[in-house]
Structure 1
């Protein structure tokens, strides 16, 4: 019989054991002194790494001292945010290190009340974690270092979004910091272009130590605030005239303080805060929000005003809380469900920051109140309040305008209408609104139930108005929502 070929079968387990025996055999033939030398060499690696790190830090210190010019920006400053935003957008990198935290969603961003009451899992927020970045920009070499010490402090702020909270040091090669300053201006221009459709509202941080961006709200058009057209035109014309550079020169040439103050008063829900945001958006200004009842002392109020920039809107809400006697307020509120807001600031402290020796110029101060009759006459005299604007209940003419705006064809509603039918429905709707009875917020809440149904809105407003008048206007929308939900 012919010889058959034999196939070699290799057992993987046996092959592995053979390799291990070979390795152990080689190690057994090593001299013990060689093994000890190898271990000693490996043991010196950490020491060598620390030594190289010290040499590098020392060398960088001397290079930085002799060859670098730098600018340091504290954490929380708007310039800091502009630089970090520019870096993340214009010099993106594949980051491998992130800071993770639970994203706290503010109640104002929740779309409906039912969702806000549910126990839902918050989203996780991941921000790139970096200490140093280097890059070339317009022919210059830059190094941006982020302070690790201020990073933990920034994370302790619930409103921190991972941008601009840590101290930055921007360096460039050379003995002049001019390239760094030009780079910072580039970053400012970039963020300004991005923010041109938004109004940034600043508020004091939770410790009351510094101004920080509270929210960035889209610009609100003036036609969304419903008040008398002549009053609105007069107000906007006055603000525009005040912000004109020629006006500032006229004031300064006559040694007049360059200030402008407005008082917005009226019932709650008439649009006082909305009008303030609309004015800021119309003229490209930021808002610095000062809630009088939350300020502890006159010194805190003065410190706050000293840090507000010149060209902005200062919004003083609940101005009637200033100077309220605590004991009197406690007695008057004992028979009520809740206490009135009380401020520890005195009237003299407020007047001092408005137009005293320590006051600054170039701002627009807007005061709001629901109770103008309780204001001190010294606070609202000409020179401190240059124009008083009543935001009262809505008129039938404004109701018609609101209907047309809510169901404009450009909004793409589910029931599109031609212009004639839309105008007829708006007139039908407005005729059912009593003159000077409901606030604009009342109608806005009603429209939220009928955003895609203009015909239904025009047909159902009558019964809603009658129920509101019968049950009391203030609590009406709680009732309306219950009826809508069955």
Structure 2
């Protein structure tokens, strides 16, 4: 009797009654089996559950593949900034984890105002757009740096139910329009950073081209030439002519060369890309990449090209011809000797060379659809090979003020004072005063045109 009780005790199920009562009756006998309870059955059930879980996960992956659509926007892409700005306007008031983004705007008076936006921080968020719920995943790689900006690499992944990407196209287009609306009527300035163009400062209010007074006819000459170029791409293609145009504005300091280019960009709704040949990371390769990747409808500006290309005497380690000279770009590139047969260069492949500059301007790999402006205070310092047709198609002298300029600049400051303007011009000689000097002088007497006339001799003493 005691043995039977012991056997019954030995056959007591290993599963507690509190759990066993939740198991269906047909399976309770299985769990009461001593061998099953000893562990073999549990191992089997665990395996079945593991296989079921893996199958469920695979089903989710397949469901996401066939029933969901996603798009990833990396921080390197220009649409990333559009999307971030768009998200700042679509954030839910229940979003508790946000990042701060400060933006700047310029009022008509020129005063700079700042605005603090809250955008979704790194993590997962949800937004509602065109009747669809969109999952927004913002991620940041801690160990990967975007070399073009120096910031940690980021990306945004958008996911929604469906099979068409059209909703993302509409979303990004809406974000683009919203961003561009804020830039309407303003000129964008870019500067080079490595092989990338980065926005420089805030968008500037467009300067009316009439506020920069050049000598009679010069403004119209340049403006009409650029307009003709922009509207004649097919003409260039049909004749096998490279579709690019180069301009050189030369003259003394303070004559309005850079100011006119800024006003021209505003007039034609173009951006300005300032290319600094003295940059420490500039090389033949990076120059080619920058020229080929400039934003559409932009002016590439090389200011004070005579300072970038410095000329010395004779010398130094390479073949030379009579009258030849050593040249360098920002003391980095060494150009030794020029003869009718070619250029000889002592720079290495990691530097910007004179031949590399020439090839970037009009070589085999030179970019198409490009508008390039150079400025210089010393035309005589520039080698003719740099400014020959094909590299520079139109050279325009921007000199010291003529009578025409002095009169019109006077009228800009003192409208409807034609008689005083003529009196002012009669007191001063031509080609001796820069427009910058005139502007500073008129600002001194901004409220009294009579004093501006009577004290005009201050400008030549």
TM-score normalised according to structure 1 size: 0.65
Structure-2 change in CA distance of 1:136 and 1:94 (3 Å)? closer
Question: What does residue 147 of structure 1 align with?
Answer: 139
The change in CA–CA distance for 1:124 and 1:69 in structure 2 (over 3 A counts) is same
In the alignment, is the contact (CA less than 8 A) between 1:313 and 1:364 conserved in 2? yes
Q: Name the SS for the 1:448 alignment partner.
A: helix
Secondary structure class of the residue paired with 1:373: helix
Q: Is the 8 A contact 2:103 2:114 kept in 1?
A: yes
Q: Distance in 1 between matches of 2:103 and 2:145?
A: 17
1:230 to 217, 223, 232: 217
Q: Is the 8 A contact 1:310 1:361 kept in 2?
A: no
Matched, 1:352 2:359: yes
Shift of 1:104: 11
Q: Check whether the contact 2:75–2:153 (CA below 8 A) recurs between aligned residues.
A: yes
Indicate the residue corresponding to 2:270 in structure 1.
285
Aligned length: 366
The answer (yes or no) to whether the contact 2:244–2:368 under 8 Å persists in 1 is yes
Residue in 2 that maps onto 1:213: 199
Q: Equivalent residue for 1:79?
A: 79
Residue equivalent to 1:300: 286
Q: Report the equivalent of 1:475.
A: none
SS in 1 for 2:170: helix
What corresponds to 2:418 in structure 1?
423
Cα separation, 1, equivalents of 2:153 and 2:424: 50
Structure 2 partner of 1:241: 228
Contact kept? 2:73, 2:157, Cα under 8 Å: yes
Q: How does 1:192-211 map to 2 (within 5 A)?
A: 192-205=180-193, 208-211=194-197
Aligned residue among 370, 373, 376 for 1:366 = 373
The aligned residue for residue 135 of structure 1 is 127
Distance 1:167 1:392, change over 3 A: farther
List aligned pairs for 1:50-89, cutoff 5 A. 65-89=65-89
Q: Secondary structure at the match of 1:267?
A: coil
Unaligned runs of 5+ in 1: 1-56, 112-122, 330-338, 409-418, 471-486
* Kept after mapping to 2: 8 A contact 1:133/1:143: yes
Displacement over 4 Å in runs of 4+: 57-66, 89-105, 123-127, 150-154, 325-329
Partner of 1:269: 254
1:446-473 Cα deviation digits (max 9, x unpaired): 233344x1336524642421xxx33xxx
Larger Rg: 2
Give the stretch that moved more between structures: 83-92 or 364-373: 83-92
Q: Tell me the equivalent position of 1:473.
A: none
Does 1:382 pair with 2:376?
no
CA distance in 2, matches of 1:230, 1:150: 57
Query: For residues 74 and 169 of structure 2, what CA distance do their matches in structure 1 show?
Result: 15
Is the contact made by 1:321 and 1:342 (CA closer than 8 Å) also made in structure 2? no
> Of residues 127, 141, 162 in structure 2, which corresponds to 1:174?
162
Cα distance change, pair 438–166 in 1 and its aligned pair in 2 (3 A): farther
Q: Pick the structure with more strand per residue.
A: 2
Classify the secondary structure of the residue corresponding to 2:157. strand
Q: CA deviation at 1:210?
A: 2.4
The 1:60–1:459 alpha-carbon spacing in structure 2 relative to 1, beyond 3 Å, is farther
Measured after TM superposition, the shift of residue 76 of structure 1 is 4.9
CA RMSD of aligned residues (A): 3.9
Identify if the C-alpha distance between structure 1 residues 67 and 407 changes in structure 2 by more than 3 Å, giving closer, same or farther: farther
Q: Report what 2:448 is aligned to.
A: 454
**Bigger share in helix:** 1
Which residue of structure 1 aligns with residue 43 of structure 2? Answer: none
TM-score normalised to structure 2 length: 0.68
C-alpha displacement of 1:257: 1.0
Residue 187 of structure 1, aligned match among 175, 195, 198: 175
User: Is 1:442–2:428 an aligned residue pair?
Assistant: no
Structure 2 residue runs of 5 or longer lacking an equivalent are: 1-56, 316-327, 334-351
Task: Give the Å deviation of 1:293.
Answer: 2.1
> Match of 1:167, SS?
strand
- Cα gap change, 1:141/1:293 in structure 2, threshold over 3 Å: closer, same or farther? same
Q: Which is further off, 454-463 or 265-274?
A: 454-463
